[in-house]
Amino acid sequence: MISISEIRERSVDLAAHGDVLIQHSENYYALSQAVAEARARTGDRARMLTRQAVGSEIVSRLYRLIKNDSDAWNYPWLINHLKGDELLEKLMPTFNHDGRKTFRELIQLRDEVLSLFDKVASSLEFQKLSVYRQKFVGHRVPKPRDLRKFSPEADVVELSSSELRWLTDVLSVIADRTAYMIDRSSFPADQIAHMAQDEAHALWDLPAPENRKSLKDVYGQTD
């Protein structure tokens, strides 16, 4: 049986990877804006190449966090261990440290996390990402074997920033819910994103963002 300390360690590790993923993502969105506004200026070719490299890094990170590899520190590992109620019973003392929470509430949170990850793992967005990775980032296979089990729409030659954003957002929600289950803490995805957004806009000489999105605004959206 897995220990609480190991669950906490893996949760913290996944959150740390999520932090970096969000920062890469905000840089990618800023670069996408900069490339869209390109006017044959000196440096535009470098921006395009940097955008491609950052996008490939996001694809690789998302794939490793979502892909069900049994020997990896990833979300499937965490989800697999959260399925049993025995672990929830061990989590109950820290989840209910002030006597205000019930076991039923902990089960509901766990079920929400399981449902969210199933939504990610079975999504068309992840199918597209997997195919794109095999075609252009990982193995460089023109016709990946995965296409036999995926829908025809998964056979892509490009990914949209909205598709990458949706996968990142839902993993961030899972990280937040999991931290709350363990000891009623949180994963500050919005704060990380806003700070990274400011950094990226300053780096690429873009106007400061006027509107701030948060997970509650984009959660549930796939386009």
Over the stretch 138-176, which tens digit does the pLDDT of each residue have? 778 888 888 889 999 999 999 998 899 999 999 999 999
Over the stretch 77-120, which tens digit does the pLDDT of each residue have? 999 999 989 999 999 999 999 999 999 999 999 999 999 999 99
- Per the CB < 8 A criterion, the answer to whether 201 and 37 are in contact is no
Over the stretch 173-190, which tens digit does the pLDDT of each residue have? 999 999 999 999 999 999
Choose among 12, 47, 22: nearest CA to 195: 22
Q: Which two tokens stand for residue 218?
A: 């984009």
Q: At what angle do helices 75-82 and 4-36 cross, to 10 degrees?
A: 140
